[in-house]
Amino acid sequence: QGGGFRLIEAAMRARRLLACGTALASATRATMLSRLPFPPRTAFVGEVGAGLRAVQEAMAMASKVQRGVESMTKGDLSPVTVADFAAQAMVLSRLRAAYPEDGFIAEESSENMEDEFAAATSAAAEMSKSALKDAIDLGGIGWDRGRRWILDPIDGTKGFLRGEQFCCALCLLVDGSPAASVLGCPNLDSGTFAVALKGAGAFVFQHGAWSKLAVSDAAVGDGLRLVEGVARSHSNHDWSDAAFRSLGRPTEPVRLDSQAKAVVLSMARADAFLRLPKRGYVEKVWDAA
Strand order in the sheet with 254-255: 254-255, 226-228, 272-273
Q: Which of 84, 102, 137, 152 is catalytic?
A: 84
Could you tell me how many residues make up the chain? Answer: 289
The Cα 85–Cα 62 span in angstroms is 10
- Known catalytic residue: 84? yes
Please provide residue 26's backbone torsions phi and psi, each rounded to the nearest 5 degrees: -65, -40
Query: What is the per-residue burial (b if ≥16 Cβ within 10 Å, else e) of 139-154?
Result: beebeeeebbbbbbbb
Pairing of strands 79-81, 147-155: unpaired
Q: Which of 121, 137, 152, 157 is catalytic?
A: 157
Q: Which residues contact 170 (CB under 8 A, 6 or more apart)?
A: 51, 54, 55, 91, 149, 150, 151, 152, 181, 182, 183, 289
Distance of CA 277 to the CA centre of its chain: 21
- Known catalytic residue: 175? no
Q: Do residues 118 and 133 lie in contact, with contact meaning Cβ atoms separated by under 8 Å?
A: yes
- Residues carrying an active site annotation: 84, 157
